[in-house]
Amino acid sequence: MGHRPEVEAGVEDCDLTGETALVTGATSGVGRETALALGRLGATVFVHGRDRDAGRRVASEIDDSGGESVFFSADLAEMERVHRLADEVRDRTERLDVLVNNAGGHFPTGELTSDGVEKTFAVNHLAPFVLTHDLHDHLPRDGRVVTVASEVHRRADGAFDVTEIGDYDGLGAYARSKVANILFTRELARRLDGPTANCCHPGFVPSSGLWRDASLRVRLGVGVLARLPRFLTSGFVNSPAEGAETSVYLAASPEVDTVRGAYFSACERAEPSSTARDDTRARKLWQSSEDLTGVSWP
């Protein structure tokens, strides 16, 4: 049967029948395993990704396991496409019980999107910011927003100069986007009336699709780690299914029904960096995110 995230997360008895979940970046890696697990728990799963063939394969796996699924294709680097994805989701359902902001990217060279924003920040932070904005009125009072962050956030100093790419550092840009995920979650939890918002660290998952756009050196390094025997990497390298455990826990567990604005690792609450706990910085990031995207939250 293989490793099942819902079993390891202790939520295999949770019944999500009648609920709808959107998982971004669900065509491979942690997102795929999250989508499959939510499907096995009975949810109708909206599978998002860029690769149509891979998306249809995941959707078919969910259908074959007795669940229901719909695939949506979108490149989250373009804000116009993020808005369109939200419109497509709204057209398919009157309520969205779970939104898992899982999609992410790690890019080796600096690049500005057509919106004039550094690409890592656009994909990893602004896309979830806009998507959650566009769908928040579809979340019921007991709805949940789960955003996948990373322990790499601890490298970030909290500066968000994202409209230029001078002295670009790929890992630094990734860390900046991940601390933004946590700050976004804290401020989102403060603003949402009813639905919960939490974020998590999935562990280090070298076989994840996250690294497909990284530099050749990084791709080679994580490729080697992904192929090493489990007894050599246990404890510091996670499989995609292991990486999905905390996302699935936050999406389904009754233990977090009333938890808001928290950061989790290995299905337990964890303390993020002091930068990530700075609520003044969270509000400033929120305002600059509105300015960059043109959306305005109530």
Q: Which of 168, 174, 249, 263 is catalytic?
A: 174
- Collapsing DSSP to helix, strand or coil, 206 comes out as coil
Q: Is 168 a catalytic residue?
A: no
Cα-based distances in Å from 183 to 49, 68, 153, 222, 250: 25, 33, 10, 28, 17
Dist CA 89 CA 93 (whole Å): 6
Instruction: Annotate 261-278 with b (16+ C-beta within 10 A) or e (fewer).
Output: bbbbbbbeeeebbebbeb
H helical segments located in the chain: 5-8, 29-40, 52-64, 79-92, 119-121, 127-135, 170-191, 216-227, 230-233, 240-243, 245-252, 279-293
Residues carrying an active site annotation = 174
